[in-house]
């Protein structure tokens, strides 16, 4: 039987920790978390710091991998590490001074050359978050802070399925300064353990003689959590790392003590029993995910692409008057819309499949880079208020991150990066639908998302300009047929118009088929502003013939829920 063998490594300042798991042919990604939890963790001194060289660190990695692999072949390596990792997961760009060796790319190149497999890199907090998602801790339309605490404190924010990274950076909570030191120092679990003769953190939380020390530590930890709550508006904090392991083994009621200390009570706290295994789960899933899509990346000859050719290379746009420009744009935009007629049969098939998936509990997930991603984002944010559909059921992933999508997020080759880390945070399932949008079909961010979706059995759909070829990484193509642009390569124009139309047709049709429209009225809209309240009253007038004052009164009585108001009126006043 064919097997894939995945190695996960968690790099810490003191130790390297690693696991190896085997996945049999026919076993899916969903088996990985439990296999990691059941595996034996191998530890070696990391040999990082001022006393060591980069070669010492490479030797430590080699020793770890030799013991794990027993010189047998492996399929991929996933690495969880301290420090800031670049968006593509290829290198470390910022670390604490004592981990400076990690910034050298030589050790990563060494691993890639030695093992000839994908080597995927991710920050340890983000790896912990992926582990949390895989185990079902990250669900719903919430904002959750994931806080692994070991030598220092890591922190990442998960917001309704996506990593929340304003300025395209991790929230460096551990670097926050206080007169007693930064947060990394004052809530370090490793530093706390040093008060015990055996340096055993479990003793700190189980022995009576450390009661005062525990009290002081909990006071500091509650302050850090309170800061995270204020800055990032999190609904919940998930505590992992070595601290979580010690709390689990000692059965110390840390959550209760923290809640007693916190001034804000609008937050939940959970200590995760999986502790230090979470980043290893995340790293394993990342390595396996990257391995699953390595053959899907397609290179393109851009010079031959229709979208890169000018609509008419003999036109000198810079010589036209404003009216001539606008008239030309108008004509070509109309043409882009008309050509979509040829895609209606395909779109009909897709609409029916998406509707069935959402009825079965799945999600509609758009993936795009640049204009494509932003157009999809506009659609997803409108679905909830227009149709009352759950926000966690229609989502968009944008290359570079959603937090700064209204700004410039294409400065570091984001569309060429893999989407796997972000899909793992969504804990994608076979019930879901992934719609990738790449007019040229060349964005690897989209290719990787669709390839991974197809691998795990989710429906994968690509919106692109042409139907001249169907890539292996998707189940279905919706062609735009938008042709060449008036400004060569500027697909924000004709192709953008066609894309927005396709997205509108798709999502609106699905919402209608799911029962969110009655006649021609949005009967499940959210009454979240004066305009929408007035619209709801008008709908009640049209459906039941009642005047605005009565309609408004009935809405108020039903907490401004239009669907419930309609149900009430149908039952009591018809």
β-pair type (394-398, 364-368): parallel
- Burial class from Cβ neighbours inside 10 Å (0-12, 13-18, 19+) for residue 197 reads exposed
Minimal CA–CA distance to 377: which of 362, 391, 397? 397
How remote is the C-alpha of 217 from its chain's centroid?
Answer: 33
Minimal CA–CA distance to 367: which of 410, 392, 397? 397
Minimal CA–CA distance to 376: which of 402, 345, 351? 402
Residues composing the chain? 574
Distance CA 228, CA 233 (A): 7
3-class DSSP state of 399: coil
- Residue 549 annotated in active site: no
Q: CB-hemisphere CA count at 13 Å for 375?
A: 25
414, 415, 422, 485: which is the annotated catalytic residue? 414
3-class DSSP state of 414: helix
CB-based contact 329:511 (threshold 8 Å): no
- Residue 268 annotated in active site: no
- The dihedral sign for the CA sequence 11, 161, 451, 429: positive
For 114, residues 6+ apart whose C-beta sits below 8 A from its C-beta are 62
Distance CA 257, CA 219 (A): 9
100, 270, 335, 382: which is the annotated catalytic residue? 382
CB-based contact 320:331 (threshold 8 Å): no
Contacts 24+ apart (CB under 8 A), 85-88: 85/121, 85/122, 85/123, 85/126, 86/412, 87/168, 87/400, 87/412, 87/413, 87/414, 87/417, 88/412, 88/413, 88/416, 88/417, 88/418
Largest CA distance in the chain: 86
Angstrom CA distances, 204 to 152, 200, 217, stand at 17, 7, 10
Catalytic residues: 382, 414
């Amino acid at each position: 039987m064919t097997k894939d063998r995945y190695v996960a490594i968690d790099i810490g300042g003191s130790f390297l920790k690693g696991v190896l798991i085997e996945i049999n042919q026919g076993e899916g990604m969903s088996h990985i978390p439990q296999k990691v939890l059941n595996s034996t963790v191998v530890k070696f001194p990391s040999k990082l710091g001022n006393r060591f060289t980069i070669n010492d660190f490479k030797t430590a990695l080699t020793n770890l991998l030799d013991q794990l692999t027993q010189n047998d072949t492996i399929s991929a390596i996933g690495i969880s590490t301290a420090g800031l990792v670049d968006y593509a997961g290829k290198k470390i760009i910022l670390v604490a001074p004592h981990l400076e060796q990690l910034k050298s790319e030589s050790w990563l190149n060494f691993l890639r050359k030695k093992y000839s497999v994908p080597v995927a890199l991710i920050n340890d907090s983000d790896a912990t978050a992926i582990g949390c998602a895989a185990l079902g801790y990250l669900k719903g339309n919430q904002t959750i802070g994931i806080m692994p605490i070991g030598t220092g404190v890591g922190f990442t924010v998960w917001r309704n399925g996506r990593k929340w990274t304003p300025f395209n950076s991790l929230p460096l909570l551990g670097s926050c300064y206080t007169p007693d030191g930064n947060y990394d120092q004052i809530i370090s679990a490793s530093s706390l353990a040093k008060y015990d003769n055996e340096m055993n953190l479990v003793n700190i939380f189980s022995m009576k003689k450390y009661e005062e020390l525990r009290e002081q530590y909990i006071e500091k930890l509650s302050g850090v959590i309170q800061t995270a709550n204020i800055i990032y508006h999190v609904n919940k904090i998930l505590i992992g790392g070595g601290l979580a392991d010690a709390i689990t083994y000692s059965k110390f009621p840390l959550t209760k003590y923290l809640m007693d200390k916190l001034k804000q009570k609008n937050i939940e706290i959970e200590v995760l029993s999986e502790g230090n295994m979470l980043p290893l789960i995340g790293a394993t899933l990342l390595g396996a995910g990257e391995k699953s899509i390595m053959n899907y990346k397609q290179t393109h000859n851009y010079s031959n692409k229709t979208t890169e050719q000018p609509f008419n290379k003999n036109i000198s746009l810079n010589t036209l008057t404003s009216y001539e420009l606008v008239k030309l744009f108008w004509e070509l935009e109309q043409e882009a819309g008309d050509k979509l007629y040829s895609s209606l049969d395909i779109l009909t098939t897709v609409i029916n499949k998406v509707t069935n998936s959402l009825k079965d509990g799945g999600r509609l997930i758009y993936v795009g880079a640049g204009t494509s991603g932003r157009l999809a984002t506009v659609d997803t944010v409108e679905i909830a208020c227009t149709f009352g559909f759950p926000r966690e059921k229609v989502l968009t992933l944008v290359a570079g991150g959603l937090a700064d999508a209204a700004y410039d997020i294409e400065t570091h080759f984001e569309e060429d990066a893999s989407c796997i880390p972000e899909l793992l945070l969504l804990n994608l399932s076979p019930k879901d639908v992934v719609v990738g949008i790449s007019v040229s079909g060349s964005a690897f961010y989209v290719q990787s998302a669709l390839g991974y979706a197809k691998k795990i059995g989710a429906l994968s759909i690509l919106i692109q300009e042409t139907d001249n070829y169907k890539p292996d990484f998707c189940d279905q193509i919706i062609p735009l047929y938008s042709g060449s642009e008036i400004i060569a390569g500027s697909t924000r124009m004709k192709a953008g118009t066609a894309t927005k139309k396709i997205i509108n047709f798709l999502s609106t049709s699905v919402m209608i088929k799911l029962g969110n429209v009655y006649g021609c009225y949005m009967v499940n809209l959210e009454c979240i502003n004066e305009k929408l309240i007035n619209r709801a009253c008008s709908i009640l007038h049209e459906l039941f013939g009642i005047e605005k004052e009565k309609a408004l009164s009935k809405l108020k009585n039903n907490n401004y829920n239009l669907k419930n108001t309609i149900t009430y009126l149908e039952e009591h006043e018809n």
